[in-house]
Chains A and B, each alone.
Chain A
Amino acid sequence: MTNSPATQQKTMTVAIIGNPNTGKSTLFNSLSGGHAHIGNFPGVTVEKKVGTVRWEGREIELVDLPGTYSLAPRSIDEMVAVDVLLGRQKGVPQPDVIVCIADASNLERNLYLFSQIMDLSIPVVLVLNMSDLARSRGIEIDAEELSKKLQVPVVRTEAHHNVGISTLKEAILKIEPGESHTAQQLFPEAFYTERKALQDKLQSDDQQTPPAFLVDRLLLDVGGYVESYFEHHTQNGLIDHLHEARTRLKESGCAVPAIEARLRYAWARELLQGVISLPEDHQDTASDKIDRWLTHPVFGFLFFFVLMFFVFQSVFTWAGPAMEWVESGQGFVEGTAEALVAPGPLRSLLVDGVIAGVGGVLIFLPQIMILYFFIAVMEDSGYMARAAFIMDRLMRSLGLSGKSFIPLMSSFACAIPGIMATRVIENRHERLTTILVAPLMSCSARWPVYTLFIAAFIPNIAYFSISGSPIVTLQGLVLFAMSSIGALIAIPVAWFLKRICFKGEVAPFVMELPGYKWPAPRHVFYRVYNRAKSFVVKAGTLIFATSILIWAAGYFPGDHSEQFQIETRLESIDGSLGEIEAQLADSEKLESAAQKELQAQKEQLASEQETLAEKQNRISSQLVEASFLGQAGHLIAPAVKPLGWDWKIGVGVIASFPAREVIISTLGTIYSLGGDVGEEDEGLIGSIRSATWPDGRKVFNIPVAISIMVFFALCAQCAATLMVMRRETNSWFWPAVSFTYMTALAYLGALVSYQVGMMLS
């Protein structure tokens, strides 16, 4: 190996590419040591994963490209990999080395992509991953012979067990920067003649020579991305020329697109002659035997639903305690801040803005991590493809595919991990449709809202009881209806998006069912960790900013000095009361007269505390009314009147746009109860039951309660979801679409429920 100072300084870019399910991400994690920077390629929904490492003093930038079966791009998303490899992607230098990872147990098909990579004239290392699995299936590969035939380094690895990684590093480091190899001539002469003619034509139009690989793609991919790109960017009859060229090729017996697959597969088969020895054909593997059960008409369904129930239940129940830790941690930090900072604007900003904002981000972490744990295990074990296989027929009736099921089901717990889980969907339109309908699923943050209004207004009538205990109640039915309304609305929305907005050819579902294997714990850990990290860093900062904004809108422009005085006094009363309690506890040492005096003091302080607390709540609610938030509430009052709402509900709804569960504490503040109320708080239920319009009519009745619940069921009141949507789609457009259509739906739904409800009652 030569390590001249010049080569040591230059960063070497290594692109990793391979078919899906070849263990590519595991290999990337092993090579990068788990340190990856995850982002998006500009303008597309494709994830950009880059890791920088130092091997033998040399800086290496590893770029993980999305798993693909071929380098024939059909969409702008698929074009990213080609652009990176050709050095045309901004922000990524042209790779010095391509590492092509292939599944050793399925080498022939994996060589299809490899043969396309060979056309790029960039040095390449072929990795035969999962060699252990191949061997266990009785597949023997002579890697040395393969390397000799290909004139390319071939490395055997078991990325799951970290085997062969150092050999691969050595093979990569042996390649000199700037080295290249000559592309093979796979196609007949006629093809290269047409390519040259096309290249000349493009050059005369554009004064630039497009890379030969792109001209190949233009010629070969009928209806592909490159063709449609040139169709929109060139004139001068290029497309006519292209059609003529294809006709000439067909006449000379090499019709595109069929010729490419036929030649490359023939090449792969010939290459493997004498290199690979396969077991007898049509033999049942261990994986096939598992599949017979897991895709069985009865047992397969049963297993799938039991598993889904378990996952769903775990996200709910396991996340519960962890979310409580987050909350109690938040409470502890709040207490500390209150002890250190005197009541005033700074404390309000810290406690109600900053700490509440950070807590609002961290509260989602447990659900994200648990769901991602299950997704990583399902993907890594090979079950994810079976889940899509089983659910495909059902999901297709919604215009989606089996791959959308798990993201949508997860969204019933929380739309954030659900939207993050759409990464398993390769098709852009299908992924966008799934992302756009995911927030309609009834997430767990809607439950407090339902619980409050159902407890307050829906009569507790039992329709069906078993030995005295009610099984079906009106309250339960309303809760069920509220939880399903979003999913029901999602059906026409998905249909509309797929048929009207994302019209075009049906995406192929053609999907490999990879062999089952044990998931690698290390790999599962990295995936959960990276997801959690990217959520906190990317979405977190924006959620945080939104929380501060809403805090400011509720704080300004009122004069809070009286409120702070009362708060200071209340805290000193709290302190004195504590001291008296402590003295009373030691009462044996005190004389009875002293005891009586203490009791009297205590009572006096307690009554002062009560008066002050009431005053405090009254001032708080006045301040909220006078704040920008309250002004906005009055401003929208005419707009929400047809929904049966007064301005107080309006304020609650506006304040809960960043996070829907905020409605409870906002209503608590507005109804002068202080912000610390829960959804089953008797005081809050009592207050909203007795709230009246200025003319003395009751504000709330059943239609109003239903109208509020329907609004919350359909509205996109979750800044975190919109931020994650932005991150996943890499654009503000889709969160804006989602926000707009969901708010419109929510308004309409609330309007219809109130108006119809009033007509009926």
Chain B
Amino acid sequence: MTLNQIVKGQIARITQINGEDAISIRLMEMGLIDGEQIQLLGKAPLGDPLEYAIRGYRLSLRLNEARCVEVELV
């Protein structure tokens, strides 16, 4: 599954970042590395973007950016 599919409060482990474009590089620079845990904290009022917790900080991702991240639930 991908990161946009987890529900609020759920914690998932990153398995892979897809792609080599600007978005996936930025995601990796922000610490989204395979093996890392990530939690969905909430959504913006219009359902996009989404707020996540990773490495102890809060990160906002758009749905299409979250789709680049393969995860598995823990």
Contact = CB atoms under 8 A, between A and B. Distances in A.
A295 B44 contact: yes
Nearest to A279: B56
A72 B25 contact: yes
B45 A106 contact: no
B49 A512 contact: no
Contact of B49 (A69, A105, A261, A389): A389
Given A109-B57, A257-B25, A278-B56, A509 B49 contact: yes
B20 A510 contact: no
Contact of A506 (B23, B30, B39): B23
B60 A261 contact: no
Given A258-B17, A301-B45, A385-B60, A510 B23 contact: yes
Contacts of A509: 49, 60-62, 65
Given A108-B31, A265-B33, A223 B20 contact: yes
Interface in A247-265: 257-258, 260-262, 265
Contacts of B27: 508, 510
A508 B30 CA distance: 12
A293 B20 CA distance: 36
A257 B20 contact: yes
B70 interface: no
B41 interface: yes
Nearest to A292: B42
Contact of A511 (B21, B56, B59): B59
Contacts of A513: 51, 58-60
Nearest to A394: B46
A261 B43 CA distance: 27
Q: For chain A, which range describes its interface: under 10, 10 to 19, 20 to 34, or 35 or more residues? A: 35 or more
Interface in B6-59: 11, 17, 20-23, 25-31, 33-34, 37, 39, 41-49, 51, 53, 55-59
Question: Which of A74, A109, A392, A508 lies at the interface centre, i.e. has the most chain B CB atoms within 10 A of its CB?
Answer: A508
A70 interface: yes
Contact of B44 (A70, A222, A389): A389
Given A508-B22, A508-B23, A513-B59, A112 B49 contact: no
Nearest to A74: B22
Contact of A106 (B55, B62, B64): B55
Nearest to A69: B29
A117 B34 CA distance: 24
Contacts of B56: 105-106, 108, 139, 278
A257 B62 CA distance: 22
Question: Which of A222, A291, A510 lies at the interface centre, i.e. has the most chain B CB atoms within 10 A of its CB?
Answer: A510
Contact of A512 (B21, B42, B59): B59
Nearest to A257: B25
B45 to A, nearest CB: 5
Contacts of B58: 287-288, 291, 512-515
A280 to B, nearest CB: 11
Given A223-B22, A510-B61, A295 B29 contact: no
A139 B64 CA distance: 33
Contacts of B64: 506
A104 to B, nearest CB: 11
A69 B30 contact: yes
A288 B23 contact: no
A597 interface: no
A506 B62 CA distance: 12
B61 A291 contact: no
A265 B42 CA distance: 26
B31 A265 contact: yes
Contact of A390 (B20, B45, B59): B45
Nearest to B20: A222
Nearest to B39: A282
A507 interface: yes
B51 to A, nearest CB: 6
Given A295-B42, A393-B48, A70 B11 contact: no
B17 to A, nearest CB: 7
B58 to A, nearest CB: 4
A270 interface: no
A512 B57 contact: yes
Contacts of B29: 69-70, 72, 112, 261
B22 A511 contact: no
A361 B11 CA distance: 55
B42 A291 contact: yes
A508 B45 contact: no
A507 B22 contact: yes
A204 to B, nearest CB: 28
Nearest to B54: A109
Contacts of A262: 28, 33-34
Contacts of A385: 60
Given A389-B44, A392-B48, A393-B47, A505 B22 contact: yes
Given A265-B33, A509-B49, A389 B60 contact: yes
Contacts of A72: 25, 29
Nearest to B59: A512
A69 B60 CA distance: 14
A262 B31 CA distance: 8
Nearest to A261: B28
Interface string A97-135: 000000001101100100000000000000000000000
Nearest to A71: B29
A257 B25 CA distance: 7
A109 B30 contact: yes
B23 to A, nearest CB: 5
A394 B17 CA distance: 27
A644 B55 CA distance: 65
A162 to B, nearest CB: 25
B29 to A, nearest CB: 4
Contacts of A74: 22, 25
Contacts of B43: 295, 297
Contacts of A260: 28
Given A109-B57, A392-B62, A393-B46, A261 B22 contact: no
Given A112-B29, A261-B33, A389-B51, A510 B45 contact: no
Contacts of A258: 17, 28
Nearest to A108: B55
A440 B16 CA distance: 44
Contacts of A108: 31, 55-56
A74 B53 CA distance: 26
The 7 closest A-B CB pairs, nearest first, are A261-B28, A393-B46, A513-B58, A106-B57, A508-B26, A70-B29, A297-B45
8 contacts: A258-B28, A265-B33, A282-B39, A296-B45, A298-B45, A300-B44, A508-B27, A510-B61
Interface of A: 69-70, 72, 74, 105-106, 108-109, 112, 139, 221-223, 257-258, 260-262, 265, 278, 281-282, 287-288, 291-292, 295-298, 300-301, 385, 389-390, 392-394, 505-515
Given A222-B20, A223-B21, A389-B60, 19 more contacts: A69-B26, A109-B30, A109-B57, A112-B31, A139-B56, A223-B20, A262-B28, A262-B34, A281-B37, A282-B39, A288-B58, A291-B51, A291-B58, A300-B44, A507-B22, A509-B62, A510-B30, A510-B59, A511-B60
